[in-house]
Amino acid sequence: MRNILSSIICVCLFFSCDDQSEEITTVESKDIYGFKAIEYIEVDKDSKELIEFSKLLLRYENGSSLRQRVPIDLLSGLKNSFIFLNDNLSLYSVIEEDSIKVRIPYYRNDNELFLSEDEWLYSENLTEFSPEMLTCDMLYVEPYQKLEVECTYIMDRYTVSYRTTLVNQTTSREVMIGGKWTGTFLREIKPDYKFEKMQ
């Protein structure tokens, strides 16, 4: 996570609106639009939430007289995720809609929002990807011992308002559509390894 934060860029949250743009809810089907920009903004209902939960990852027993090596996947299928909600993008005929990529929020601190350096697909579908964190471990279990691995996960969940600007390809008029972006990112893993003698 620190490696990612070192490469992200910081943008100040803003509250201004372009007077030459307007937010509309109906569009004639014949109109064709191009994607221009996405802007993340702060409103009262936006939030940052800390999520913490524990999960039993492994129970292993070594009933042999030999020392055994056991691989541990600390992620165990856990993913970062994000989704763009309620932006009404489907109402518009947008050029290359399926290939629009944008930067996404990755960290929020007081009145600043940090965006990812990489660009991701702008979609109303849930996007999942693996955290960039070392998550594999290798443990040795001595003869006639058992191992139990429990892991505590700490994740950040952000909800951020945004506005998307589209440009009418015929009239050059700009329109804005708004929505909510929600993302959940792994911050920290706390594994707990318990070794006991077999009965």
Which CATH number does the domain housing residue 83 bear? 2.170.15
Is 26 a member of any domain?
no
- Are 97 and 33 a contacting pair, CB within 8 Å? no
The predicted pLDDT at position 94 comes to: 83
The predicted pLDDT at position 44 comes to: 62
The encoded tokens of residue 29 equal: 């089907």
The predicted pLDDT at position 67 comes to: 95
**E strands of 32-109, at which residues?**
32-41, 47-62, 68-73, 80-85, 93-94, 101-102, 105-109
The predicted pLDDT at position 45 comes to: 62
Answer whether residue 138 shows pLDDT above 50. yes
Is 159 a member of any domain?
yes
What does residue 41 show for φ and ψ, rounded to 5 degrees? Answer: -130, 165
Is 73 a member of any domain?
yes
> Is beta strand 136-141 parallel, antiparallel or unpaired with respect to 68-73?
antiparallel
Lowest-pLDDT choice from 13-27, 42-56, 143-157, 180-194? 13-27
Q: pLDDT band at residue 196, thresholds of 50, 70 and 90?
A: very high
Domain range holding 6?
2-15+31-197
pLDDT in tens, 88-114: 777 778 877 788 999 999 887 766 788
Mean pLDDT, all residues of the chain: 81
> Is the model more confident about 28 or about 180?
180
The predicted pLDDT at position 108 comes to: 78
Is 20 a member of any domain?
no
Is 92 a member of any domain?
yes
Number of domains forming the structure of the chain = 1
Is 22 a member of any domain?
no
Is 46 a member of any domain?
yes
Mean pLDDT of 61-77: 91
Global pTM value = 0.74
What does residue 24 show for φ and ψ, rounded to 5 degrees? Answer: -130, 160
Answer whether residue 53 shows pLDDT above 90. yes
pLDDT in tens, 144-193: 999 999 999 999 999 999 999 999 998 999 988 888 999 999 999 999 99
> Is the model more confident about 131 or about 44?
131
Is 135 a member of any domain?
yes
